[in-house]
């Protein structure tokens, strides 16, 4: 049985991997050109991303196509690691390392930063049964288990609604 921490790390790890992948695609579409600096928009001329000023990004690589390709690769590895290997002994260190790599090769700014927090959360995954070793009092356990599922669904739903809502606001308010 997967713990609440494992489910949270996996779910938000997949979301951050997809977000990094989206940044990489925006860079690849800009072609074999040099970014204007260390920080740049990944979707500069897209009306869809105009409310976010083209989505901020950064990279230590000075070629959009190369940085976008690496961002896609690192983001996919992050996504797969979060989906399949969170129970490994060194999962948290790998997630943090991949998130830092994603930040340096154009996987966005916020997806990698949130990815580092996800990696830090993964340190709390106990390879032993998390229910047996929890520090929650037994009387509170049934209440917290009921509330956890509802709060998790609410959290994921609100996170997934933020992006389309922000884009819609910019599109329809102009």
Q: Are 42 and 54 in contact (CB under 8 A)?
A: yes
What is the rounded distance in angstroms from the CA atom of residue 77 to the CA atom of residue 107? 12
Is residue 110 included in any domain, yes or no?
yes
Q: How many CB atoms lie within 10 A of CB 88?
A: 14
Looking at residue 73, its pLDDT comes to 97
DSSP-derived 3-state class of residue 54: coil
Number of domains composing the chain: 1
Is residue 118 included in any domain, yes or no?
yes
Is residue 174 included in any domain, yes or no?
no
Looking at residue 129, its pLDDT comes to 46
Is residue 126 included in any domain, yes or no?
yes
Joined tokens for residue 141: 């356990």
Is residue 141 included in any domain, yes or no?
no
C-alpha torsion angle, residues 78, 57, 124, 13 (rounded to 10):
-40
Is residue 89 included in any domain, yes or no?
yes
Model-level pTM?
Answer: 0.78
- 24's CB contacts (< 8 A; 6+ apart) are 42, 67, 68, 69, 70, 71, 72, 73, 75, 106, 107
Radius of gyration of the chain (CA): 18
Give me the average pLDDT of each 10-residue run along the chain (174 residues). Answer: 81 91 92 90 78 83 94 96 89 94 92 91 71 55 70 75 63 57
Is residue 127 included in any domain, yes or no?
yes
Is residue 88 included in any domain, yes or no?
yes
What is the rounded distance in angstroms from the CA atom of residue 78 to the CA atom of residue 99? 7
Residue numbers of the domain that contains 11: 4-134
């Amino acid at each position: 049985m997967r713990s609440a921490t494992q489910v949270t790390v996996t779910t938000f790890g997949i979301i951050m991997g997809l977000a990094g992948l989206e940044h990489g695609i925006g860079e690849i579409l800009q072609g074999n050109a040099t970014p204007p600096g260390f920080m740049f928009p990944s979707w500069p001329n897209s009306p869809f991303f105009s409310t976010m000023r083209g989505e901020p990004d950064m990279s230590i690589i000075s070629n959009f196509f190369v940085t976008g390709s690496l961002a896609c690769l690192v983001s996919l590895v992050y996504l797969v690691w979060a989906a399949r290997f969170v129970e490994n002994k060194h999962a948290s260190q790998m997630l943090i390392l991949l998130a830092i790599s994603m930040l340096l090769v154009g996987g966005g700014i916020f997806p990698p930063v949130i990815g580092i927090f996800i990696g830090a959360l993964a340190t709390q995954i106990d390879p032993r049964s998390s229910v047996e070793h929890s520090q929650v009092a037994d009387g509170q356990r049934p209440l917290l288990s009921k509330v956890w599922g509802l709060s998790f669904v609410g959290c994921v739903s609100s996170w997934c609604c933020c992006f389309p809502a922000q884009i819609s606001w910019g599109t329809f308010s102009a």
